[in-house]
Amino acid sequence: FDHPELTGKQFTARTSYLTNGAADCFLFLSARITGIPGHQVSLSDKVFLARTTDGGRSFRFISWVVPPSDDSRAVMPAPVQLSAVRIVAAIRRRNDAFPSCWIDCFQSTDNGQHWAFLSRVGETGKDNGNPPALVRMSDDRLCCVYGNRDRGVMIAVFSADGGLTWGPEVILRADFRSVNGYKDLGYPRLFQRPDGKLVTVYFWCSPEKPETHIAATIFDAP
């Protein structure tokens, strides 16, 4: 945070990274302007890319994935490497002026040096939204999973063109019911098993267990 792009900002990142080698790693982080009290959501949160090439002894700022000039919140990226030079990242978005929360994809075609908007993946509800999980499947399609708080559902969508366009929603789960009526759900992780099935893990409340708990859905790609 001594870098001129980050001086004076607050660190707000969650875990998100791509390993390039034994001592080389991309870290997808986020920062916002200072002076945000408590846990208040800030639309100044923006994703940036940092890199270590010495096993974590030092880090350097590489680029903004979403620039500070953007007028919407951008946090909790889920990146995938599609080639030696192309990276796609799904990102949690929010703008209170609409109000709306959604998932966007940004891409780099020069291995993280520069980024541009690629596509809007899906809607996540007006109540603070939800972060995405993104994987490249064995058939080279992309799968993105996220929750929609307004609807109380977990959703999967698929892209056959590297995130440029996305197919229809696949509803993975729709039985959300919390003990206090608060729709806090999702925050998925996602991976593909050797047998081709997809597994997503998230937090949930069900009619049988209305307290928040960790749950999972195993599903096939359409």
How far is the C-alpha of 122 from the C-alpha of 130, rounded, in Å? 10
The closest of 67, 65, 32 to 48, measured between CA atoms, is 65
How far is the C-alpha of 131 from the C-alpha of 90, rounded, in Å? 8
Asked if residues 65 and 79 have their Cβ atoms less than 8 Å apart, the reply is no
- The tens-digit pLDDT sequence of the chain (222 residues) is 789 999 989 889 988 999 999 999 999 999 998 766 665 667 889 999 999 999 999 999 999 999 999 999 999 999 999 999 999 999 999 998 888 999 999 999 999 999 999 999 999 999 889 999 999 999 999 999 999 999 999 999 999 999 999 999 999 999 999 999 888 999 999 999 999 999 999 999 999 999 999 999 999 999
Q: What is the pTM of this model?
A: 0.94
Residues 6+ apart with CB under 8 A from 87: 18, 26, 79, 80, 81, 107, 108, 111, 112
